[in-house]
Amino acid sequence: MNYAGMNAGSLTFTASLVVVALGGPSVLDTFQVLQLSAYSSLALGVVGLAFVWGILGILSLGHAAFFGIGAYAYAILSIAQGESTFAVAAAILAPSVLAVCLGYFLFYGRVGDVYLSVITLCVSLILFSFMNSTADVSYTLLSVPLGGFNGISAVPPLNWPGFVGDFLTPEATFSLCFLLLAAVYLALQFLRGTRLGRIMASVRENERRCELLGYDPRWLKLVGFVISAAIAGLAGALFTANTGYVGPTVFDLGQSSQFILWAIAGGMGTLSGAIIASFMLQFLASFIGTSQLFNTSLVFGTVIIFFVYALPNGIVPSLQGLLRKLSRLARRQRRRPEVIGDSIKSTP
Amino acid sequence: MTAMIETVGLTCRFGGVVAVDNVSLKIEEGELRCLIGPNGAGKTSLFKCLSGQVQPSGGRVLMKGREISRFHPHEIARMGMAIKMQVPSVFNGLSVHENVWLAAARLHRGKALEAIVDETLSAVGFRSAEAREKRADELSHAHRQWIELAMLAACKPAIALLDEPAAGMTQDEMLRTVELIKTINRSTTILVVEHDLEFISLLARKVTVLHQGKIFVEDTMSNISNNAAVREIYLGKQWRMAQ
């Protein structure tokens, strides 16, 4: 296992994200640019979950709560102000504040793992239920109607900071989304290798031992939880900026379970895996959705069963294992003549 | 001189079971004390009370004269207490090096940290880089015990609680563990729970016998082994066979 955090693999992965960010717009058509921008913002959401789950061992089943609050915060503020800079900041801040409050009670109250998952899930479902019942025109925030199950539409895209009305082109948004994804990935990967990150991993491995060594696991978990919530909030803001719409479904079970599915498929403990899996499965979802052959939920149910049974380590760790096996095989092939000689000699 | 660890009327109840019953124990600085007693005598519960993993139902725990029984385990650890649990408690999914690194990282940084990790790992026989890169769950029981001892030593604690550090070890491994503990004892007060009587006779100057949650007797090992009452409750047949 590599503890360096920043290794050749993670730097290569970051570099490829940057290449996509800068080179993508010149080879892709506008539809693909828009589609991939939306995909990348969901990928950003899952990388935060992969961090808090894979490194700290906290299964936040309701990660959509933070994503959704970020999405709504962006929608409301960008409409109210006509400017997106403060809206993005608020989309990061609001879920972080919720994560601090929620995390304080969960971790300092020593709520067990399973209950923690259930509570986070309930929080997102409560928000879903609440947002669904705000259809009446009297429900407004900063004079922006919340819209109930219809959601908020015509949300303005991102604009250059400080320049009202000077919107980013879809291509610029695409580049920004991928660069942010690369930056967050790299920052989290860097964090893993630091002293703090390594101690966080020890919380996942054995919380009691970590505590008996003199570290406070409650604090470490809270920090990680808030980091992942902030990332999810940013992801929500970018998603809404890309699609121009936010509705209560950002809080629903489907959204939360999608994040979980991507993190599992990508491989627990890897951040790049979650990103790769999220893109693959989003393409799959959109393919199934457009071809209308199967029910998407049915296919995803099958996919999750497949991963749990056939590739329990997830895509990236399984590929790494395969590569290691192949290179060992290649080395053995080079030495084969001697090996055969030995085995003949040793046969009685 | 104030004692390193002192308990005053320490009591620990689990429902109707009184695991630790009004125990007053005093361990001086630099001492190496053994705690013996039959199964269920309350040894592990006493350790859990001392380290803050279990809140005592009554009585007080003093460390260098300071009351510690209401603190969290990580706070007590920061005051200088380290514990080796009965079942080896290490970071299974992490490498041997990482395990000891995490133990030392609270107090040290940079080069000093790496030096301590290197020194402690060498002391328990993990010298090669290959041995240090192994995951803790790939190791034998004895080696995991040593890793936990190394983690404890890397913390440079003022007092160390060792719960059955020689369990499941061969004779050679046990003798080596005795040496390790004696080395740690040069700078650390130690309280050790064991069942292996040979191990105790090699280590201890003073032995406390715990029985049904209470202190039964406190004496030197030779006096303890000649004490008919202790033999009856604990040593019994096994000791006569060893004789």
In chain A, which residues have their Cβ closer than 8 Å to the Cβ of B83?
212
Secondary structure (3-state) at B86: coil
The rounded distance, in Å, linking the Cα atoms of B40 and B21 is: 12
Query: How large is the greatest C-alpha to C-alpha distance in chain A, in angstroms?
Result: 90
In chain A, which residues have their Cβ closer than 8 Å to the Cβ of B53?
208, 212
Q: A216 — contact with chain B (CB < 8 Å)?
A: yes
From B44, B55, B65, select the one nearest B191 (Cα to Cα).
Answer: B44
What digits encode the pLDDT tens for the residues B50-79? 888 888 888 889 888 888 888 999 999 999
Q: How confident is the model at residue B236 (pLDDT cuts 50, 70, 90)?
A: low
Domain count, chain A: 1
Q: A105 — contact with chain B (CB < 8 Å)?
A: no
CA of A270 vs chain B CAs: smallest distance (Å): 14
**Within a domain: residue A271?**
yes
Q: Which residues pair with A145 in a beta bridge?
A: A140
Query: DSSP assignment of A148-189, as one string?
Result: GGG-EE-----B-TT-TT-BPPHHHHHHHHHHHHHHHHHHHH
Question: In terms of C-beta density within 10 A (0-12 exposed, 13-18 middle, 19 or more buried), how is residue A269 classed?
Answer: buried
Write the residue in A195, A209, A216 that is nearest to B91 by C-beta.
A209
CA of A63 vs chain B CAs: smallest distance (Å): 26
Place of tokens 């041995």: B131
Q: How confident is the model at residue B151 (pLDDT cuts 50, 70, 90)?
A: very high
Q: A56 — contact with chain B (CB < 8 Å)?
A: no
From A56, A42, A69, A55, select the one nearest A1 (Cα to Cα).
Answer: A55
Q: Which of A3, A198, A209 to mutate against chain B (most B CBs within 10 Å)?
A: A209
The rounded distance, in Å, linking the Cα atoms of A156 and A240 is: 9
Q: Which residue in chain A has the smallest CA separation from B107?
A: A214
In chain A, which residues have their Cβ closer than 8 Å to the Cβ of B90?
206, 209
In chain A, which residues have their Cβ closer than 8 Å to the Cβ of B135?
1
**Within a domain: residue A137?**
yes
What digits encode the pLDDT tens for the residues A302-327? 888 888 888 888 888 888 888 888 88
**Within a domain: residue A338?**
no
The rounded distance, in Å, linking the Cα atoms of A6 and B30 is: 44
| Complex ipTM tops 0.95 | no
Structure tokens at B65: 């004269």
CB contact under 8 A, B91 and A215: no
Let me know: does A151 contact A76? Beta carbons within 8 Å.
no
Let me know: does A220 contact A202? Beta carbons within 8 Å.
no
The parent domain of residue A164 ranges over 8-296
Return all residues near A45 (Cβ < 8 A) that are at least 6 apart: A63, A67, A231, A232, A235, A236, A239, A259
What digits encode the pLDDT tens for the residues B169-220? 888 888 889 989 999 999 899 999 887 778 888 887 788 888 888 888 888 8
The rounded distance, in Å, linking the Cα atoms of B241 and A267 is: 55
Place of tokens 């570290």: A215
Q: Which residues of chain A have pLDDT under 70?
A: 1-5, 335-348
Q: A47 — contact with chain B (CB < 8 Å)?
A: no
In chain A, which residues have their Cβ closer than 8 Å to the Cβ of B103?
213
Q: B3 — contact with chain A (CB < 8 Å)?
A: no
Return all residues near B138 (Cβ < 8 A) that are at least 6 apart: none
What digits encode the pLDDT tens for the residues A96-125? 999 999 999 999 988 888 899 999 999 999
Percent of chain A residues topping a pLDDT of 70: 94
In chain A, which residues have their Cβ closer than 8 Å to the Cβ of B74?
211-217
Whether the predicted pLDDT of B142 surpasses 50:
yes
Q: A206 — contact with chain B (CB < 8 Å)?
A: yes
